[in-house]
Chains A and B, each alone.
Chain A
Amino acid sequence: MNSHHLNPSPENSTASLRSVEGIARVVRVDGDQAWLEPEQTTSCGHCASSASCGVSSREEAGIGTVTSRLQARRFYLDNPEGSSGFHEGERLVVGVSESALLMAALTAYGVPLVFALTAGSLTQAWYGDDLATMLGMAAGLALGLLAARFKARRLAAKGALAPRFLRRARPDETCGTV
């Protein structure tokens, strides 16, 4: 299972930095770890209100379905209140800081692009041929993805990409109202 480790933070504590918040549902409690699944990933942004259109988040799991996407994005967090903390089916508000989101986007998309465009420009200057430029740019892209991987590992090791538990979601709270 694809996992992501969350840094726990006590309930009622508010993030000192501005954060991007989302709702996740506890799908499994495994000892002192709670596995969560984000609610909002459909193309129209619907989540708990998905009955209002054809995009349901309760469909069968399969290749490319919303359910499979949600399962791929499951993560866990240490149960900060012990085994009596989170329960299956509980909805929690989790958040990541704005700067972390921006850094993640720059790492994932910016770094490979810079490598690809630089490599393409250099190849064009040296060979002046479209095919060579294309190959150079593809090689630069691959190199950039490796650099992004290295950078992402460093960020993950520092805990910079880890969302935090903020509070329990209200019953009427949906992804659009957080």
Chain B
Amino acid sequence: MKEFALMMIGAALVNNVILARFLGLCSFMGVTTRVDTAAGMGLATTFVITVSSMADWAVQTYLLDAYGLGFLRTVTFILVIASAVQFTEMTIKKVSPSLFQMLGIYLPLITTNCAVLGVALLLVEGRMGFLNATMFAFASSVGYSLVMIIFAGLRERLVLAHVPRLFAGPPIAFIVAGMLAMAFMGFSGIATG
């Protein structure tokens, strides 16, 4: 149980998808101007990463490994992710048209989010069982959402701050992102301690 908890904390905080692995940087900079949109995007991405990781694990175990088709991994995973996004979109639309109209905007953006593919490929490297793989994917995406929300909060405050004109906009956002990454490095003590 302790190892399980450490694996999840490690995936969410120590080896954070955005700040340690540098995945999903497009959405990190593009959808973090407001906390609410960042939270919406984070939740949608969490759902897609978890669901697509479940499917990726099954495809890897019962198809690619079983028939020696490992060289098709990347292209297969991309197909699985696109299908997972499409499945999510169709399901949300069916479950509640109101929710789809409110949240549908986030879903097409996730197809091209490299964090989704990155986590799926990390699972293959990890050689984990199904539950461990799914929980790892879930924890990674929770870490992604956490950083998105924190960064959005910081950017909302930056708008109100007096920033020199030379640094206004993306430059100061990148500087803050770097400081946030350094702050997250403090979590590495959890893994070694």
The one of B47, B95, B97, B130 in contact with A133, judged by C-beta atoms closer than 8 angstroms, is: B130
The one of B47, B54, B98 in contact with A4, judged by C-beta atoms closer than 8 angstroms, is: B98
CB of B122 closer than 8 Å to a CB of A: no
Nearest Cβ distance between residue A127 and chain B, in whole angstroms? 11
Contact in complex: B39, A105 (CB < 8 Å): yes
CB of A173 closer than 8 Å to a CB of B: no
Contact in complex: B95, A145 (CB < 8 Å): yes
Nearest Cβ distance between residue B143 and chain A, in whole angstroms? 15
Given A98-B36, A116-B50, A161-B98, are A108 and B103 also a contact pair (CB < 8 Å)?
A: yes
The one of A98, A100, A134, A161 in contact with B130, judged by C-beta atoms closer than 8 angstroms, is: A134
Contact in complex: B30, A105 (CB < 8 Å): no
* Interface stretch (choices B131-139, B158-166, B168-176): B131-139
Contact in complex: B44, A133 (CB < 8 Å): no
* Interface stretch (choices A7-15, A40-48, A79-87): A40-48
Nearest Cβ distance between residue B9 and chain A, in whole angstroms? 16
Contact in complex: A137, B54 (CB < 8 Å): yes
CB of A107 closer than 8 Å to a CB of B: yes
Contact in complex: A148, B96 (CB < 8 Å): yes
In the complex, which of the residues B40, B61, B93 has the most CB atoms of chain A within 10 Å of its own CB atom? B40
CB of A53 closer than 8 Å to a CB of B: no
The one of A108, A110, A116, A120 in contact with B92, judged by C-beta atoms closer than 8 angstroms, is: A108
CB of A106 closer than 8 Å to a CB of B: yes
* Interface stretch (choices B17-25, B67-75, B105-113, B184-192): B105-113
User: How many residues on B have C-beta within 8 angstroms of the other chain's C-beta atoms?
Assistant: 40
Per DSSP, are chain B's interface residues mostly helix, strand or loop, or mixed? helix
Contact in complex: A107, B99 (CB < 8 Å): yes
Contact in complex: A102, B93 (CB < 8 Å): no
**Given the complex of chains A and B, what is the CA–CA distance between A108 and B138 in angstroms?**
16
Contacts of B130 in A (CB 8 A): 120, 124, 130-131, 133-134, 137
Contact in complex: B54, A45 (CB < 8 Å): no
Nearest Cβ distance between residue B159 and chain A, in whole angstroms? 14
User: How many residues on A have C-beta within 8 angstroms of the other chain's C-beta atoms?
Assistant: 50
Nearest CB in chain B to that of A142: its residue: B91
Contact in complex: B36, A161 (CB < 8 Å): no
Nearest Cβ distance between residue A50 and chain B, in whole angstroms? 15
CB of A51 closer than 8 Å to a CB of B: no
CB of B66 closer than 8 Å to a CB of A: no
CB of A16 closer than 8 Å to a CB of B: no
The 5 closest A-B pairs by CB, nearest first: A152-B96, A109-B47, A130-B130, A105-B43, A98-B36
Binding site for B on A (CB under 8 A): 2-4, 18, 20, 38, 40-41, 43, 45, 69, 72-73, 75, 96, 98, 100-102, 104-110, 112-113, 116-117, 120-121, 124, 130-131, 133-134, 137-138, 141, 145, 148-149, 152-153, 155-156, 161-163
30 A-B residue pairs with Cβ-Cβ distance under 8 Å, sorted by A, are A2-B97, A4-B97, A18-B36, A40-B105, A41-B105, A69-B108, A72-B100, A72-B104, A73-B100, A96-B102, A98-B36, A106-B43, A107-B99, A108-B95, A108-B96, A108-B103, A110-B43, A113-B138, A117-B50, A117-B135, A130-B61, A131-B130, A133-B130, A134-B57, A137-B130, A137-B134, A145-B91, A155-B98, A156-B96, A161-B99
